[in-house]
Amino acid sequence: MKLNRICASAAALALVLSTGCSKPEDSASLTNENEAETAVTETEGQSETQENTSAEENQSLLGGWQVNTSYSELLAETDRAVFDKALEGLTGAAYTPIQVIAKQTVSGTNYAFLCLETMVTGVPNANHAILTVYENTEGAVEILNIKALDLTDLPVIAESKDEDLLGGWEVTGSGKPGALTAESEQALSDALAGVSGVTYMPIVLLGTQVVSGMNYKFLCYGTASENNPATNLYVVTVYQDASGKSELSSSELFDLNACVTVEN
């Protein structure tokens, strides 16, 4: 199903990227960091046991990546109303909307909300998630799918010349910076200075990772060259060394369809 329309409004921060750069993430930092032991107390009259489970399980799964939890609310009032209505009565986790990153016209509208997810039961943790909401033509809404984003295993796809990578979803939003720290914004700008190929507009800083320097991972809108003018979503990783010099580590197409597909 071909994309009906692509929105790629210019933003204050428009960045340009070319392929061919590579900087591997620190693999040593992606293994079993932040492990801790949790004491499990059995019911009265039974023995107490110690389990080698992590009290900070989320941080271990992220392999040293720290989820960025600051954000700028970029939702339109109408989109926020849909989001709030969908979350009425939801328990177990709290969701803070960051931006609608895509919409899909069906018999009504599907919304792909990028959110900050905070678990309120069990071991507290924070993560980013894609929350898919359906609004029918009469205004009734329901949550179709919630997909947490694992920073060590984000859904990406190989480079493709096919402009219809979103499967009928339309990229939305202005691309103005949201959830970016001044340091990360500067690192991204420095890493992309002087290169060409794809114009990037950052949506959110997904996370940071301390290595021999710092890794920054962003979710961005990206508009390709004039030969392929489609706008898509990209995961962009930037490495900044201890002296402050930044370079592009990788740029990968984000697989939105892997996040919005309803799980049975």
Domain spans in the chain, listed from the N-terminal domain onward? 15-27+67-260
Identify the pLDDT of residue 88: 95
Kindly report the number of other CB atoms within 10 A of residue 38's CB atom.
Answer: 13
Identify the pLDDT of residue 71: 64
Q: What is the DSSP letter of 94?
A: E
Percent composition of the chain: helix, strand, coil (DSSP 3-state, to 5): 15, 40, 45
Element (H, E) at 59: helix 57-61
- Residues 125-147: b if buried by 16+ CB within 10 A, e if exposed: bbbbbbbbbbbeeeeebebbbbb
Tens of pLDDT, residues 114-166:
998 888 877 767 889 999 999 999 999 999 999 999 888 999 987 665 555 66
Full-model pTM: 0.71
CA distance 113 to 130: 6
Residues of the chain with pLDDT below 50 are: 1-61
Identify the pLDDT of residue 155: 92
Identify the pLDDT of residue 149: 92
3-state SS assignment for residue 156: strand
Q: What is the DSSP letter of 41?
A: P
Identify the pLDDT of residue 228: 59
User: Torsions phi, psi of 94, nearest 5?
Assistant: -110, 140
Identify the pLDDT of residue 125: 77
Identify the pLDDT of residue 172: 62
Identify the pLDDT of residue 63: 63
Task: Spell out the alpha helix ranges (H) of 147-198.
Answer: 182-192
Torsion of CA 75, 81, 82, 87, to 10 degrees: 100
Q: Which two tokens stand for residue 157?
A: 């796809």
Identify the pLDDT of residue 86: 96
Instruction: Considering only the C-alpha atoms of the chain, give the largest distance between any 2 of them, rounded to a whole number of Å.
Output: 72
Identify the pLDDT of residue 132: 94
